[in-house]
Structure 1
């Protein structure tokens, strides 16, 4: 028993060291993946205690690129819609846990081992900043386009288009879609967010499995957009 506790302690220490190094070691080591470009675009990162999402401002180009989502019932053209919000995660946990009160052992176990993945797509209206759960970043046109390519490639496609999961949603305006890649505790929703943000030209930590470490690394290596207090983003 003492040996088992010792091994557990060593494992937890290694995990803690990995998380710390994953936060402070920048990725990429030298510069962003898509530096430079024309007029800056902005994106938002939404954070909760275990998950991060990327919010993309809706314009004609974004509506055209993600028209396949509109065809599947995501009402991105609504007058009050300002952002398309994208998140990637464990199929069992994401779908099976709309609220903390609905947390069950099965989805948690699936998320901690190996699970299929889904894309969750939602809408957001005007977002007033600053607020502690939202960060805004300016990116280049080239970086913005590269990030959208990454997001689009995350959706599973067949001969008939993307695969929306029928009858599953948190509300009236969101939906779930089958996604590429397998989810596990080491490569989860926040590492997907980090990878997408690197495509946009931002620098993250080398490994960011938790929202708090991702936000620390984003704050360490990138300059958030300056926004007037209480400002509403167009």
Structure 2
């Protein structure tokens, strides 16, 4: 066989081996690092009720629409007039890749180009908000009662995830909502294999001094620490 061809095949084998090693290392990290806890002894009583909610893939953080610390209706509802209903008690916040959020309403709509952009820092991000009258606890929705100070830290974290215009208003992504009570906004940071929607939610819990894991790209890493 031609020496140059053998050399080329050797490079290809090493490249494929390197890729397999990287994939294996990533999968191992995804399995093990989420088991490492942080904030293992949070304050167990407080004045503010929040929720962690997963749809099986993506994690949202639910907070009160309005209390003495923060009135989210001043920031969010001005762009979505049908949500100015006084019976709305909670607002859910989620962060993610804009392509996934806006162009992939169902998994069957996922394009290879959208997935590639999201995985390798090539896309942009968005915040998604949705308003609720009530929230019910279940296996994928955990209730937390946190202190005012911890809630202030959570509010700060969420606010810093949005992009703002010169007037310090959040940047609404017009006419791309799923329904009457949700909206999308331009966000900071870039989605990747190492910083996903669930990483954002896990970091929100860290910011609020609540139980979380050291790092996770998936929702199971978060809920593992709330399973008992």
Change (3 A) 1:97 1:74: farther
Corresponding residue to 1:180 among 177, 188, 207: 188
User: C-alpha separation between the residues in 1 aligned to 2:140 and 2:81?
Assistant: 24
Corresponding residue to 1:147 among 123, 144, 154: 154
TM-score, structure 2 as length reference: 0.83
Q: In structure 1, the residue corresponding to 2:131 is in which secondary structure?
A: strand
Shift of the alpha carbon at 1:174? 0.8
> Any gaps of 5 or more consecutive residues in structure 2?
1-11
Q: Which residue is equivalent to 1:226? A: none
Looking at secondary structure, tell me which structure has more strand per residue: 1
Q: Which residue is equivalent to 1:196? A: 204
Matched residue pairs, number?
Answer: 215
Q: Which residue is equivalent to 1:7? A: 18
Corresponding residue to 1:20 among 28, 31, 38: 31
Q: In structure 1, the residue corresponding to 2:172 is in which secondary structure?
A: coil
Change (3 A) 1:39 1:56: same
Change (3 A) 1:74 1:22: farther
RMSD over equivalenced CA pairs, Å:
2.4
Shift of the alpha carbon at 1:193? 0.4
Map of 1:131-142 to 2, 5 A cutoff? 131-142=138-149
Q: In structure 2, the residue corresponding to 1:183 is in which secondary structure?
A: coil
| Bigger radius of gyration | 2
Q: In structure 2, the residue corresponding to 1:151 is in which secondary structure?
A: helix
Shift of the alpha carbon at 1:46? 1.2
Change (3 A) 1:67 1:13: same
TM-score, structure 1 as length reference: 0.81
User: C-alpha separation between the residues in 2 aligned to 1:89 and 1:20?
Assistant: 21
Runs of 4+ in 1 over 6 A off after TM superposition: none
